[in-house]
Structure 1
Amino acid sequence: MSTATSASTATAEHTARQGYDRDVRVAVLGVGMMGQDHARRLARLTKGAELVAVSDVDVARTDAVAAEFGVRAIHDPSLAITDGEVDALVIATPGFTHEDLVLTALRAGKPVLCEKPLTTSPESSRRVVEAEAALGRRLVQVGFMRRFDAGYLQLRELIASGEYGKPLFLHCAHRNATTPPNFSSEMLMLDSVVHEVDIVRFLTGEEITAIRVLAPRSTSSAPEGLLDPQFVVMETESGTIVDVEIFVNTTFGYEVRTELVAERGQVRIGLPEGAVSQSASGWGGRIPRDFKERFGAAYDLEFQRWVDAVRAGVNVDGPGVWDGYAAAAVCAAGVESLKTGDRVEIDLGARV
C-alpha cells in the first residue's frame, strides 16, 4: 500500500469516528437503474451530501452518468472506495459483488449504504458481520428502504404500543407488473420477499424462526419455467404467523400491502394513497407504476438520515449488517423450501 493510500485511509478512519462539519463527499458504485436514481437523489435532494464520483465497470455508462452530474468517472469501483476525495459510498452494484466491495470499504474505514442484499449468502453476510465487529464501530447500513415508509413506521409504533394487543398474523402482498429477462423462481424470494423478511423483523422486533414456500400453478403471464406466484409462510419467535403472496407478473402495476391482525384490532397499510373515486362508472383509485413511485419518499428519507448519521459520526441510522445477515439466512431457507416443499427452520447462531 502506498504512503498516499495509507494516509487517505487513516484520514477516512479518523473522520468516520469524528463526523463532518461540511458536506459528505459521496461516490455511487454501480450506475444501473437503481444507482442512477440514487445519484440523482444525492446530487439534487439530499442535504449535507455532495455527489463527487460515480463508478461502474461499464465504461460508457459511467462516463455518461458522470457527465450528467458533472462529477468524476471512476471505472474501477475498488479505486473509488480508496479515493482520498471520497468520504462515503453508496453500493448499488450487482449483489454478487457486494461482499468484496463492503469489505474493502471496511478496511478503508469508510461509511457505506449498501443496497440489498448485503451479500448473496448467509455465509458471506456473516463474514461481513464479523469484519465490522472486529473494527469496533458500525460503518455499514443496508438499503431496506421500507423501514422509512410512513405506513410501516406507523404500524411499528402501533405494535410497540400494545394498544391492539399482541400481533397474531401479518398478511402481506407483493406484486409487480412484469419481471426482467432471466428472472428466476429463486429470485422471487431473494430479490422481492427479502423486503418482507426484513420488514417483519422490523415490525415485530423478533427473528424469523421457520419458513415454508408453496408454489401454486403459475400464471399464464409468467415466462416458461418461472414459478409465479408463490406463497410464503413464516413464523416468528413468539409465534406470530406471516404469510406473503408474491406475484411478479400481474401485468397491472406495483402493489405492496400489509395487514396486521392483532388481539384487539386490525390495521392495513399500502392501500392507494392518492385520490379514490366513486361514480356511476364505478369505484377506483390509482396503482403505482413501480417501486420508485411507491417508495420514493421512503428512499428520500433513508438517504437523508444516512447522510445525517455520517455527518454526525455514527454512520448508521437504520438496518445494519446483522439485519442483512438475518435476511440472507431466511431467504436461503426460503429457497431450500421452494425446492423441497418442506418447512425449514432457521438458526442464526450467536449475535456478533
Structure 2
Amino acid sequence: MSTATAPRAPRPGGDRDLRVAVLGVGAMGQDHARRLARLTRGTQLVVVSDVDAARTDAVAAEFGVRAVHDPVAAVHDPDVDAVVIATPGSTHEGLVLEALAAGKPTLCEKPLTTSPATARRIVDAEHALGRPLVQVGFMRRFDAEYERLRALVASRELGRPLFLHCVHRNASTPPNFSSEMLVLDSVVHEVDVTRFLLDEEVTAVTVLTPRRSATAPEGLQDPQFVLLETESGTLVDVEVFVNTTTGYVVRTELVAERGSAQIGLGVGLVQQSGTGWGGAVAPGFKERFGAAYDTQVQRWADAVRSGAGVDGPGVWDGYAAAAVCAAGVESLRTGRRVEVDLGARPGGA
C-alpha cells in the first residue's frame, strides 16, 4: 500500500485527550489497554481490536469501550487518533503500513516486523511521508537504570567503553518456543540496548551453543552465548538462558577504560572505579520493567499530543534490530560469524 500521500491525522488540541485503539488484546495488549485507560495522562482508550472476537468483546466490556473485530478497520476508525499495536509480529508490517496510510501515530510492540526486508519497507514508507509516526516498543530505553548507564557512557567519566556483559534469563518458555526465538524474542532487547547505550551500530554477530541445559524442552538449544561487535570495536556478550526455572533476571555491566558499572542487581546502578564502589537501593520494584512500560507509553502519548509523533526508538531502530537478529539466526544455524549490512539510512542521518 502506498503511503506517500497519507493524510495528516488531526492532532488533539487544547485539553482534548488522545483517542487510542489497542490492536491485539492478548496479555501485552490488555496490559497496554489497562495502562491507557487508567494510568496514562491525556489519553482515552476508545477501541480494542483482535481477530479473536470473544476476547475482543470481553476486553471491551471490561473497559467500557467499543470492540472492533477487524484491526484494519480499527486503524481507519474516524474516532481513533492513534494506535498501539500488540498483535503477533507477523501482522505488524501490514498494520503499520495501514497506520502510515491513515496518518495515525503508532506505538508498535517489538518486533517492528519479522524480517529486515519488511522492516526496511516501513522505514522507506515513513521516510516518504516526511515525518516520524511510528515508535517501537523497546521499553528498556525508558528504564531508570538503563537511562543512568547511558548517561554515564556519554559522559566518558569512566573513559571509552570496552565491553558490555549482558545476562538475560527467564524461568521458562511457552510451548513451541524455538531455538531461533532465543535470538528473535529475547536477545533482540540486548541488541537494542547495545545501540542505545553505545550510540552506534552492531556490525557482526556470532552465536555459540554451549551444552544444552537439562531444563530446556526437547529440541530447544538453551542456553546460547551471543557476541556482538560494534562500529568502534566495543564487544558485547549476551548469555541468554530462558529455562532457568528460577525467575527473571536481566543484568548489564559496562567495562570501560577507567572503571565499570552494573545494573540489574535490584539495587540501582552500582559503580566501581578508582574512587570507590557503591550504589543506591531502588525502592518498590514489583516487576522489573513495569515502570519502564508506564514511562514509555506516557512519553509516547505526550509526543503525539505535542505533534512530535515519536519520543523514543523509531523505525530505523526497529529495522536495525531486525537485521542484527537475522544475522544472529544465520550464525546460530551455521556456527559462523555473520556481518551486518544495514545499507544507507534514508536522508543520510
TM-score computed with the length of structure 1 as normaliser: 0.90
Deviation at 1:19, TM superposition (A): 6.0
Of Structure 1 and Structure 2, which has the larger fraction of its residues in helix?
A: 1
Q: Following superposition of structure 1 onto structure 2, how do residues 1-352 of structure 1 map, counting pairs within 5 Å?
A: 10=7, 13-16=8-11, 21-273=15-267, 293-352=287-346
Q: What is the alpha-carbon distance in structure 2 between the residues aligned to residue 48 and residue 315 of structure 1?
A: 14
Deviation at 1:14, TM superposition (A): 4.5
Q: What is the alpha-carbon distance in structure 2 between the residues aligned to residue 62 and residue 14 of structure 1?
A: 25
Q: 1:292 to 1:319 in 2, by over 3 A?
A: farther
Does the CA-based 8 Å contact 1:169-1:240 persist in structure 2? Answer: yes
Q: What is the alpha-carbon distance in structure 1 between the residues aligned to residue 226 and residue 117 of structure 2?
A: 23
Q: Deviations over 1:204-263 (max 9, x none)?
A: 000000010011111111110000000000010000000000000000100000000000
Q: Deviations over 1:122-160 (max 9, x none)?
A: 000000000000000000000000000001000000000
Counterpart secondary structure, 1:307: helix
Q: What is the alpha-carbon distance in structure 1 between the residues aligned to residue 176 and residue 56 of structure 2?
A: 24
Does the CA-based 8 Å contact 1:15-1:313 persist in structure 2? Answer: no
Counterpart secondary structure, 2:237: strand
Deviation at 1:201, TM superposition (A): 0.1
Q: What is the alpha-carbon distance in structure 2 between the residues aligned to residue 344 and residue 151 of structure 1?
A: 31
Does the CA-based 8 Å contact 1:20-1:312 persist in structure 2? Answer: no
Q: What is the alpha-carbon distance in structure 1 between the residues aligned to residue 312 and residue 226 of structure 2?
A: 25
Does the CA-based 8 Å contact 1:19-1:310 persist in structure 2? Answer: no
Identity of aligned residues (%): 75
Counterpart secondary structure, 1:318: coil
Q: 1:19 to 1:238 in 2, by over 3 A?
A: farther
Deviation at 1:22, TM superposition (A): 1.2
Instruction: Specify the alignment match of 1:286 in structure 2.
Output: none
Counterpart secondary structure, 1:294: coil
Counterpart secondary structure, 1:293: coil
RMSD between aligned residues: 1.4
Does the CA-based 8 Å contact 1:189-1:334 persist in structure 2? Answer: yes
Does the CA-based 8 Å contact 2:25-2:56 persist in structure 1? Answer: yes
Structure 2 segments unaligned to the other structure (5+ residues): 1-5, 269-284
Does the CA-based 8 Å contact 1:211-1:234 persist in structure 2? Answer: yes
Q: What is the alpha-carbon distance in structure 2 between the residues aligned to residue 118 and residue 46 of structure 1?
A: 23
Spell out structure 1 runs of 4+ moving beyond 6 A.
none
Counterpart secondary structure, 1:233: strand
Does the CA-based 8 Å contact 2:9-2:81 persist in structure 1? Answer: no
Q: 1:110 to 1:20 in 2, by over 3 A?
A: farther
Q: What is the alpha-carbon distance in structure 1 between the residues aligned to residue 85 and residue 39 of structure 2?
A: 18
Q: What is the alpha-carbon distance in structure 1 between the residues aligned to residue 297 and residue 133 of structure 2?
A: 15
Q: What is the alpha-carbon distance in structure 1 between the residues aligned to residue 179 and residue 326 of structure 2?
A: 13
Q: What is the alpha-carbon distance in structure 1 between the residues aligned to residue 66 and residue 327 of structure 2?
A: 41
Does the CA-based 8 Å contact 2:160-2:256 persist in structure 1? Answer: yes
Paired residues in the alignment total 325
Counterpart secondary structure, 1:267: strand
Partner amino acid, structure 2, of 1:148: F
Q: Deviations over 1:96-116 (max 9, x none)?
A: 000000000000000000000
Deviation at 1:292, TM superposition (A): 8.3
Instruction: Specify the alignment match of 2:271 in structure 1.
Output: none
Instruction: Specify the alignment match of 2:275 in structure 1.
Output: none
Q: Deviations over 1:30-82 (max 9, x none)?
A: 00000000100001100000000100000000000000000000000000000
Counterpart secondary structure, 1:242: strand
Partner amino acid, structure 2, of 1:173: V
Counterpart secondary structure, 1:186: helix
